[in-house]
Amino acid sequence: MTTAKPLSLKLFALTELIFILPPLLLAPYAALGGVADVATMLTFMKSPLVPLSTGALTICALLAFLVIWRIRFSRATASGDAKKLASAVREGALLFLLFLILEMLTGHIIFFKAVTPDLPASKLFVLLYLLIFLSFVSAPLFLSFILTIEHSLSSMQLYVESPFFSLKNRMNIIIPSLVFNSIALLTTVSQTHRLRTLIGPPPPTSLLTTQLIVVLASVTLTIIVQKSLSRTIVQPVARLKGLLEQGMNGDVTVRSRELAQDEIGFLSRTSTKFFITLDENFQAIKSESQQLISNKEILNREVERVHGAISEIVASIDEAENNVAGQARQVDNTAVTVEALGKGVELLNKALEQQKEHIISSNEVAASFDRQGEEIRQAVESAMQGGELLDRQNRTTYDKLEETSGGIQAVVRQSENLIEANRLVADVANQTNLLAMNAAIEAAHAGEAGKGFSVVADEIRSLAETTAEQSREISATLRAVVEAIRKIDEDNQETLRSFNKTNDAINEITDLITRLREFTESFTRGSHQVREAMESIEVINQGIHNQSDAMKEGNQKILSSAATLRSASSDVLASVNTIKRQTSHIDRAGLDLLRTNRETDKVVQTMQKMVTEIKTSERKAEMSHTNG
């Protein structure tokens, strides 16, 4: 099967046959007519000046036309603008037509004036002849020239700028052009017949017969061309136009039944495939829009659920932020308390240094007691039993102090050694005071011999009072741990009761010692007790000093840990704030997504409404079922 030529080439071939070939065939007649005009004018006119000047003016006008049109066309081509180029072509066509009309009109007027000098040379005659000439001669030439130019423009892809290239305009031009060509042919035949009549014998065929033959041939050709074009082009194009108009009105179920294998049939089948594809696409859009609405509802629920979860997360983050801030405040308070405790430890160290000096002086006194005690050692042996009893009471007191120390450790772990040392100092001070009182009593019993011992007892009492004063200062420093101090006070009261029992035992021993030996033994025992007390105080002071150093180091560690914890709390707060901001961003994004989804819902509803208004095959089947 042969492939049909493009529609544009068919039209160009048709226009060449109808518009271009007839003028080419008429060219010899036109040339012959021009020669006849010149010959007639030279023959019948007395002076050859008129025909020669007419020919010269015609040549000059033609040259001027060519120069002007060439300049205009060159400028339009250099600009590269299709509109300007098409305008230059049309201007050239109009100028050429004007030149052709003037030339032929002038020649015919001169010809008729030369042949028939008695013709009236009025303006009405000239105007009437001009109208006849424009109608029967110029129109076919102009149309042929325009279509020839447009054929060249189409090869340069510029024909879209020309209104003559549309199918409607071509069909409107074809019929009158055939008539105009026929009339032009008749005019040329008549002119030739007249020339032959003037020059020689008349032709064998009359002018009327020749004109009738030409008219019948032109009419027959016109009818054949019109019917052919109507059947092959106009009617299929009209059906295709109606098909497209139905599709534009929303009916995508239209189908074409054109079976021709030309361009119009191809366009009809292509439009049918297009409407089938469009029908399928609309049905798919309708189905997908339903699925999109379902997915939108699911997405809305999920977004709302995520929004609720984010709100709970934000509330939890706010609570965590408050907890961290409270913890940071507690750390600051602890640091302040530890700093105050450190200052108290420093004061305690100073008091221990002063007490150490007193102990040294007391040791010197105790040394003298030892020398005196050595002299009366034998007398003191009988009093050792009472000293052993006192020693047991002291050990009992020491055990209770250890129990008290355990209670303090539960309240303040870092200061337990300091509190234990303070309790020991208070214990030793009380014990020393009791010993000093005992020594004073014994010195009073000894009379003059006990004056030196009385001085020692006063020093010991002074030392005990100083120690008690330092203990009270330490107690004032440790007020931050009130409950532990109360426990210490209770233990001290228990210690006093134990010391009272010891005092009762000593009184019993004193009652039994009625002799000097008893006094000496008591004196020796007191001396040893004082020395042991001094040694115990020195050991206790050293332990307290060591514990105070350890406590000071522990305070530094606590302060360092507090600073680290404060920094960590700040980092945690910063992280919590960052998480809070990010959560807020996520929440806003979820709300934006929800708003976007609602807008999408509106778009989908609009799309569904548009699809519903389109008449698809599915909707057509539903309507047929309903009507049936």
pLDDT digits (tens, 9 = 90+) for 69-81: 667 767 776 776 6
Measuring CA to CA, which residue among 373, 379, 374, 376 is closest to residue 514?
379
- pLDDT over 50 at 24, yes or no: no
Residues forming beta bridges with residue 251, ordered by sequence position: 615
Q: What is the pLDDT of residues 528-543, one digit of tens each?
A: 666 666 666 666 666 6
Q: Average pLDDT of 506-521?
A: 53
Q: Average pLDDT of 507-518?
A: 53
Phi-psi region of 79 (alpha: psi -120 to 50; beta: other; left: phi over 0): alpha
d(CA 47, CA 608): 90
Helices and strands of the chain, counted as H and E runs = 17, 0
First to last CA, the chain: 44
Tokens describing residue 417: 């050694």
- Residue 138 DSSP class: I
Q: Report how far apart, in Å, the C-alpha atoms of 354 and of each of 153, 452, 463 are.
A: 125, 24, 10
pLDDT at res. 266: 67
Mean pLDDT, the chain, integer: 60
- pLDDT over 60 at 614, yes or no: no
pLDDT at res. 4: 38
Q: What is the pLDDT of residues 282-305, one digit of tens each?
A: 677 767 666 666 666 676 676 667
pLDDT at res. 19: 45
- The three-class DSSP label of residue 551 is helix
Q: Average pLDDT of 40-67?
A: 60
Residue of 452 and 610 predicted with greater confidence: 452
Q: Average pLDDT of 219-230?
A: 64
Q: What is the pLDDT of residues 105-145, one digit of tens each?
A: 665 555 555 555 554 544 555 555 555 555 445 544 555 55
Residue of 468 and 382 predicted with greater confidence: 468
Measuring CA to CA, which residue among 176, 178, 208, 177 is closest to residue 190?
208
Sign for the pseudo-dihedral over CA of 71, 72, 75, 77: negative
- pLDDT over 70 at 272, yes or no: yes
Burial of residue 375 (number of CB atoms within 10 Å: 0-12, 13-18, 19+): exposed
pLDDT at res. 1: 38
- pLDDT over 70 at 277, yes or no: yes
Q: What is the pLDDT of residues 404-434, one digit of tens each?
A: 555 545 555 555 555 666 677 777 777 777 7
Q: Using pLDDT thresholds of 50, 70 and 90, give the confidence band for residue 270.
A: confident
Q: What is the pTM of this model?
A: 0.30
Measuring CA to CA, which residue among 212, 160, 214, 162 is closest to residue 185?
214
DSSP 187-254: HHHHHHHHHHHHHSSPPSS-HHHHHHHHHHHHHHHHHHHHHHHIIIIIHHHHHHHHHHHHHHTTBTT-
Q: Using pLDDT thresholds of 50, 70 and 90, give the confidence band for residue 361.
A: low
Q: What is the dihedral of CA 536, 539, 542, 548, to 10 degrees?
A: -70
- pLDDT over 70 at 463, yes or no: yes
Tokens describing residue 202: 């008349």
